[in-house]
Chains A and B, each alone.
Chain A
Amino acid sequence: GESVGLHLPTLSVQEGDNSIINCAYSNSASDYFIWYKQESGKGPQFIIDIRSNMDKRQGQRVTVLLNKTVKHLSLQIAATQPGDSAVYFCAENISGGALTFGSGTRLQVQP
């Protein structure tokens, strides 16, 4: 059931601004990282991924940065739109294994 008092960290941005969502991962052996977007009542939607032999990868309006030294992952969304409002999760795994998800960040885009 629901855990009373739990709140996802929230990032609130204005439409058109850039958003940066951060994630600290736990396993230094992880070699594959993914960002997912989850809208209310739906399953996770793949946004972008990156392997540990890279430190940056760009997609359409999104960029993922990986800093293995401090085990930090970030997702940058350019020109944020109202449709980007959702909860964003980072996930990590060791090749072929199950994903371990981060705690999530709620992105609210103000029109």
Chain B
Amino acid sequence: GAVVSQHPSRVICKSGTSVKIECRSLDFQATTMFWYRQFPKQSLMLMATSNEGSKATYEQGVEKDKFLINHASLTLSTLTVTSAHPEDSSFYICSAISTGTGELFFGEGSRLTVL
């Protein structure tokens, strides 16, 4: 079946550094991918919609200069958390829509811990 892979699954970084998280659709093409953030004991909150070949659309309150999204190919979207701070520690989850079937698939998430 279709799989969405996220890498890394866990990352620990120092405050002030930048971290890149990859989201790949392994056996389908995805024009559109979504990035969510989930704090402990909370629901998934949409951060941005990533569109291949164009700029991402950010939700209100999400800083586009802090959370850089690049969707340079039909199978890869990246989220870069720039100048990370402890409050950015969270579970980041991506999802991808299959261009062929319209089905939506979720990745397994990436846990970021900023010290």
Interface residues of A (CB under 8 A from B): 1-3, 6-8, 36, 41-46, 89, 96, 98-104
Q: State the total of A-B contacts with C-beta under 8 angstroms.
A: 56
> How distant is the Cα of A100 from the Cα of B46 in the complex, in angstroms?
7
Interface residues of B (CB under 8 A from A): 6, 34, 36, 39-46, 49, 86-87, 89-91, 93, 95, 97, 102, 104, 106-109, 111
A99-B44, A101-B36 are known; give 12 further A-B pairs, CB within 8 A. A2-B41, A6-B41, A42-B108, A43-B6, A43-B106, A43-B107, A43-B108, A44-B93, A45-B106, A89-B43, A98-B46, A99-B34
B109:A3 contact, CB within 8 angstroms: no
> How distant is the Cα of A6 from the Cα of B15 in the complex, in angstroms?
25
**Nearest A residue to B59, CB-CB:** A98
A99:B43 contact, CB within 8 angstroms: no
**Nearest A residue to B97, CB-CB:** A96
Inside 8 A of A7's CB, which chain B residues have their CB? 41
> How distant is the Cα of A20 from the Cα of B16 in the complex, in angstroms?
45
B102:A96 contact, CB within 8 angstroms: yes
B55 CB, nearest partner CB in chain A, Å: 16
Inside 8 A of B86's CB, which chain A residues have their CB? 1
> How distant is the Cα of A6 from the Cα of B38 in the complex, in angstroms?
13
Inside 8 A of B93's CB, which chain A residues have their CB? 43-44
Inside 8 A of A45's CB, which chain B residues have their CB? 106
Inside 8 A of B111's CB, which chain A residues have their CB? 41
Inside 8 A of B102's CB, which chain A residues have their CB? 96
A92 CB, nearest partner CB in chain B, Å: 12
A99:B41 contact, CB within 8 angstroms: no
**Nearest B residue to A36, CB-CB:** B106
Q: Do A101 and B43 contact each other (CB < 8 Å), given the known contacts A1-B86, A1-B87, A1-B89?
A: yes
B100 CB, nearest partner CB in chain A, Å: 14
